[in-house]
């Protein structure tokens, strides 16, 4: 690693700041054997943004028996609000593959979201509240 840094410094103007702690809003914890990346701070920020800091936590991001569809008979909601919520969840999927499927399904309804879709999206946030310390761990292979 030291050799790589030296070679890079020969070609580019750069400063070695040591191990990273944060990058693009992602918390990074490193040691010689593993790297753990999470977005705990961001998760708390989006819970606050959507006024769900005090919500009840869920054990799963989506109800497997629930089938979302375009026309579900419930009232349409503010599309900008729903898009903002889904956009926040999409950014969170960078370190949260456990919510990726649910967010992918919900993103299909960004142009005609209803109360039912919003309820499902808020369920994902309630799941995130209880799992905000989840992330991705990369370990050194042997």
> Can you tell me the distance from the alpha carbon of 70 to that of 85, in angstroms, rounded to the nearest whole number?
18
Q: What is the pTM of this model?
A: 0.83
Number of domains the chain is built from:
1
What is the token pair recorded at 64? 């497997």
Average pLDDT for residues 56-73, to the nearest whole number? Answer: 85
Whole-number pLDDT of residue 1 = 64
Q: Which residue has the tokens 């569809």?
A: 69
Angle at 106 between CA 79 and CA 129, to 5 degrees: 95
Q: Does residue 67 or residue 84 have the better pLDDT?
A: 84
What is the average pLDDT across 4-23?
81
* Closest to 93 in 3D by CA, of 34, 141, 46, 55: 46
pLDDT tens, 127-142? 999 999 999 999 988 7
Distance CA 47, CA 77 (A): 19
Q: Is pLDDT of 9 > 80?
A: yes
Range of the domain at 57: 2-139
């Amino acid at each position: 690693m030291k050799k790589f840094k030296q070679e890079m410094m020969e070609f580019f103007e750069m400063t070695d700041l040591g191990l990273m702690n944060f990058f693009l809003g992602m918390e990074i914890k490193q040691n010689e054997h593993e790297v753990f990346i999470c977005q705990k701070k961001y998760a708390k920020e989006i819970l606050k943004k959507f006024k769900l800091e005090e919500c009840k936590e869920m054990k799963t991001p989506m109800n497997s028996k629930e089938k979302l569809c375009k026309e579900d008979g419930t009232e349409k909601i503010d599309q900008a609000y729903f898009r903002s919520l889904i956009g926040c969840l999409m950014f969170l999927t960078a370190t949260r593959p456990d919510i990726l499927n649910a967010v992918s399904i919900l993103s299909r309804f960004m142009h005609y979201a209803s109360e039912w879709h919003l309820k499902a999206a808020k369920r994902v946030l309630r799941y995130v509240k209880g799992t905000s310390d989840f992330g991705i761990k990369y370990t050194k292979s042997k």
